[in-house]
Amino acid sequence: MALVKFDLFLNKVSIPAYLFLFLTIHAGAQETISFTPEEETAYQSFWEMDENGMETFFSSDTPQSLYIANLYTTLDLILWDDPSQFDAWEEAWNERLQKLDKSDVKDPEKTFFRAEMLIHGAFAHLKFGHELEAGWLLRQAWQRTINSIEQFPGFKPHLKTVGLLHVLIGTVPDKYSWLLSLLGMEGSIEEGLAELELYIQSAGPLTREVTLLLDMIHAYLLSNGHYSDSVTLYAPTRLELFVKLLVHLKNSNGTAALESFRHLDRIGFRYPFLHYLGGEVYLRKGEYPLAAAQYEKFISRSRGISHIRDAHYKVFLAYHLSDDPVNAQKYFDLAQSEGEARSEADKHATRSLKTGKFPDPLIMKIRLLTDGGHYRKADSLVQAKREVQFTSTSDSVEFIYRQARLAHQQDKLRKAISLYKEVIDRSPEKGWYFAPNSCLQLGLIFSKHDDHEQAEYYLKKVRTYSKHAYKQSLDHKARTALNKL
């Protein structure tokens, strides 16, 4: 049953997490796998998410064609977030697997295609709540790939598959590691990263895709601000622009995120989640009417429920921070009744709503501006209100915490360290995440500067805090950092 825990690392943000996985694609263009000119054209249509370009290709039954079609239809399903389409997708996915099994392609190519298609299926199942099925599909992909590696150790495409699977295994909490070991599944994030990097070093034709995959891993799993400049050497496709937008947002690069969003919006990207991300860009920039308009566009066009609650909550924030109490109350109430707490964003919105209180506008503005990388604006708010008196201890501590995060983002490390320590000293055990995340950040700072004793102290301290909203995520990040030490 613990195989369902493979979905733990996806809960932070649903579509970005799935996109991160889909950057394992284009496994066909390898030294031992070739595409026909028609397949190359279809592959390019996939990267542009061009429905018309793909439809003319679906009738082909070569293994490469089945694979490309599976990539497109699965990612299309995930991006639309439409549960009513899952059954039709699953039927077509099963048919492709059967056709692949009957094809004349030999191992290791056949095993590679099947393992990758099983992974696609796993994340489609995971997206729509079929966790147990997803876990078993991942296990099948693991078994087939490991067996094939033993028989064909020089087949480089397997580095992509096993690298991804090792990253996934590395995200499973310690308390479930015994079951993975029992099932013969072992690995770590570091091991997976090394395998993906090894593929890049081989200068294979998939370097561009694996580079983007690594950017997503660093942004969403390791949160270390890593970004590869090499991707800028290419004219990006729609899908690549979308991934760049996700990475820029996660890395607090609001200026680049705005550029990517405007480009995608201008050339056309038909999936509603683009407008949710547009709302994020404008909200973090302090342009609240534009943010509200983008979130409302996402809400009206979405076919699913993921991020719906959070979008309503973000519209509430846009009106609240614009000092429009009537509309703020309207969307605060709507957020309580619309959507479900599925994605991490929806869960965070639910926790905020349960307090029944509107957040302090000054603290929220500083938080959002810092998240967007708009540090001068955030600094000006801190300086203007340094002596502000807050009515609650939580707000007082959070104000210090927000200053620490702002200083850290600007590489003012001495100031950040002092403020993080103040947060820890002033935080009672009340389920707040400010102190454990301050411990994590201190551990990462000291680790980066080779002060292993201090780093180990603070990283271990992270896990001593209980009952806070981000315990699972922060504990995992602390464990990953400790393993690196």
Residue-wise pLDDT for 313-330, tens only, equals 999 999 999 999 999 999
- What mean pLDDT is predicted for residues 398-418? 96
DSSP element (H, E) containing 398: helix 393-409
Please say if the pLDDT value at position 5 is more than 50.
Answer: no
The answer to which of 51-55, 414-418, 449-453 has the lowest mean pLDDT is 51-55
Q: List Cα–Cα distances, 144 to 123, 166, 195, 485, in angstroms.
A: 18, 14, 17, 33
Domain ranges of the chain: 2-220, 289-358, 368-485
Most confident of the following: 278-292, 336-350, 417-431, 457-471:
278-292
Q: Provide CB contacts within 8 A for 49, sequence distance 6+.
A: 72, 75, 76, 79, 238, 239, 269, 270, 271
DSSP letters spanning 65-90: HHHHHHHHHHHHHHHHT-GGGHHHHH
Percent share of the chain, pLDDT over 90: 57
Q: List Cα–Cα distances, 2 to 9, 131, 132, in angstroms.
A: 14, 10, 8
Q: Provide CB contacts within 8 A for 226, sequence distance 6+.
A: 214, 215, 218, 219
Please say if the pLDDT value at position 38 is more than 70.
Answer: yes
Q: ∠458-227-274 over CA atoms, to 5°? A: 105
Nearest alpha-carbon partner for 263 in 251, 277, 284: 277
- What mean pLDDT is predicted for residues 392-398? 91
Q: How far apart are CA 421 and CA 400, in angstroms?
A: 10
Please say if the pLDDT value at position 10 is more than 70.
Answer: no
Q: Any idea which fold 368-485 has?
A: 1.25.40
Please say if the pLDDT value at position 181 is more than 90.
Answer: no
Residue 33: beta bridge partners?
30
pLDDT averaged over every residue in the chain: 86
Phi, psi of 33 (to 5 degrees): -130, 130
Question: What integer pLDDT is reported at residue 22 of this predicted model?
Answer: 53
Q: How far apart are CA 291 and CA 392, in angstroms?
A: 29
pLDDT band at residue 277 under the 50/70/90 scheme? very high
Question: What integer pLDDT is reported at residue 462 of this predicted model?
Answer: 94
Peptide linkage before 108 cis (omega within 30 of 0): yes
| Contact yes or no for 165/142 (Cβ under 8 A) | yes
pLDDT digits (tens, 9 = 90+) for 458-482: 999 999 998 888 888 888 888 888 8
pLDDT band at residue 386 under the 50/70/90 scheme? low
Q: What is the DSSP letter of 30?
A: B
> SS3 sequence, 115-147?
HHHHHHHHHHHHHCCCHHHHHHHHHHHHHHHHH
